[in-house]
Amino acid sequence: MFTGIIEQVGTVKNIVQEGENIHFTVDAAFTHELKIDQSVAHNGCCLTVVAIEQSEYVVTAIQETLNKTNLGNWSIGTKVNLERCMQMGGRLDGHIVQGHVDTTAECIAIEDQNGSWKFTFRYASKDVTVEKGSVTINGTSLTVVDSKMNEFSVCIIPYTYEYTNFHQLSIGDKVNLEFDIIGKYVARLLQQREA
């Protein structure tokens, strides 16, 4: 379980394909605090630490993960938003994030608002967003500002822009989305009633 509050940005140092799996080596300042089998969210995708060496650790993405996320687009040098799992008894600063990416979206607009930035995304799934609701983009907990069918916008404050990989995002880039878990349950219940 995660909160969507990014702890730091890591760097992809090595990529090794093994069958349909890909092993990613990531360099991060908190590596010395990790242990084998620990869950870490990478751009919002929960992956398990399988090896640790000095400031680098390794995680493995299976084909299902690669199909549903932007991890297959990573290359050596890619900057990745990182969050370790939530500790019980602490403050929940973002919202409840599972680290299970629902789909990807394309960034279709970036607007400099003289102190903040407005990013607009388009996606193809049946999931919905609502204005003032929560959404997770590349693991970052954000509030939806505008919401349309298969499209929504968020505004990014300078701190988030600087301390996540949003400052590297360009129009046309693919991002990972996790929709709000409560909204997904409500949508599912409504679908069952209509069936």
Domains of the chain: 8-84 (2.40.30.20), 103-194 (2.40.30.20)
> According to the model, what pLDDT value does residue 86 have?
83
Contact 153, 132 (CB under 8 A): no
> According to the model, what pLDDT value does residue 108 have?
98
Of residues 147 and 195, more confidently modeled: 147
- Max avg pLDDT among 21-25, 82-86, 127-131: 21-25
Report how far residue 38's alpha carbon sits from residue 77's, in angstroms, rounded to the nearest whole number.
23
> CA 133 from chain center: how many Å?
16
Which DSSP letter does residue 44 get? Answer: T
Q: Is the pTM of this model over 0.75?
A: yes
For residue 107, give both structure tokens. 């960034």
Alpha-helical regions (H) of 21-144: 63-68
Nearest C-alpha neighbor of 120 from the set 170, 70, 157:
170
The mean per-residue pLDDT over the stretch 63-85 comes to 95
Which are the contacts of 147, defined by CB distance < 8 A and separation ≥ 6? 128, 129, 130, 131, 133, 153
The label of the residue with tokens 């919401």 reads 147
Nearest C-alpha neighbor of 165 from the set 86, 107, 125, 96:
107
